[in-house]
Structure 1
Amino acid sequence: MYVYTIGASITTKSTLISSIISGILSLLIFATLRFYAQWFNDSQLNILFGGYLFSWLFILSLTCLSNAEMLIFGPDFQAKLVPEILLCLSLTAAAAGVVHRVCATTSIIFSLVGLYFINRISSKYYNNAVIAVDAPLRKSGKKFK
């Protein structure tokens, strides 16, 4: 007899699939950029394009890491600035620095712009309005002298 659970199972499966796909795509982008490193060094426009592609490596690796953490720590876990974002950004900058120094700089700039827009879109989509509760005022009593 089979028992189907719909609630958490679908969320876990979609998070797992998203983590696997983003991990595979980030490895594919990294391998492509390393394989064609000489082409990216040919002109300034190619270097800028390499920085743009490395920013996609950052976004995909952050997605893979964040989804893996959601699988481990639960669906309410969110990626924070210090451990996850800085780790993915530093690894991406190091990988881009192997191709070209300007590639690393432009990848950081493109990554931060992409992170800003992703944060903006996700705050619209997942906006949980928190209602502020006023604390009761302390009634004035005797004043201490």
Structure 2
Amino acid sequence: MAVSTNVSFLLSSVLAITTLAASQTFKGQLAETKGMTILGGGIASMFFMFVLTAIGNLEGIMMGKGFELQLIPEVAFSLVLSLVVAGSIHRVSITCCVIFSLVILYFMNSISQKTHGVSEAAPTKLEKKKRR
């Protein structure tokens, strides 16, 4: 079930704030064991996904529907922000967050390609000139 861009922005913002609050509340428990440290990286990568979705929806609201997220300003900002959150949990969580965030980014891109399609022009055949 699809929601509008405004509702999606609101939901992803609330989920990002909730994920941030939960990771900071339980950072003592997340840093205790190896498994929980990996879970901390997973939580930080979910924060990455929610922040990236919120930024994309905000730009869609402000710039129009055809606006696309770029790698350098939006994705890099979201990744750095999630790495700061992961770093506040544990150093190993940073590495896990990078790996999980790249996997999430790959799947978000593939879903976007399937949903919105590629805006490439159809390849045209070049006719060969006949020699006379």
Q: Is TM (by shorter chain) over 0.5?
A: yes
**Counterpart-to-counterpart distance in 2, 1:97 and 1:73:** 33
Q: Deviations over 1:17-44 (max 9, x none)?
A: 1001100100000000001110001100
Q: Gaps (5+ residues) in structure 2?
A: none
**Counterpart-to-counterpart distance in 2, 1:75 and 1:122:** 14
Q: What is residue 132 of structure 1 aligned with on the other side?
A: 123
Higher relative contact order (CA 8 A, sep 6+): 2
1:95 is matched with which residue: 85, 89, 94? Answer: 85
Tell whether 2:70 aligns with 1:70: no
Tell whether 2:58 aligns with 1:61: no
Instruction: Give the alignment's TM-score, normalised by structure 1.
Output: 0.81
Residues 69 and 137 of structure 1: CA distance in aligned 2, closer, same or farther (over 3 Å) = farther
Q: Deviations over 1:48-73 (max 9, x none)?
A: 01111111100000000000001010
**Counterpart-to-counterpart distance in 2, 1:78 and 1:19:** 15
Indicate the RMSD between aligned Cα atoms, in angstroms. 2.1
Tell whether 2:96 aligns with 1:106: yes
SS of alignment partner, residue 58 of structure 1:
helix
Question: Percent of aligned pairs with the same residue?
Answer: 31
Greater C-alpha radius of gyration? 1
Q: Deviations over 1:91-143 (max 9, x none)?
A: 110111011111111011100001101111211221145213467889xxxxx
Instruction: Give the alignment's TM-score, normalised by structure 2.
Output: 0.89
Tell whether 2:49 aligns with 1:79: no
Tell whether 2:1 aligns with 1:14: no
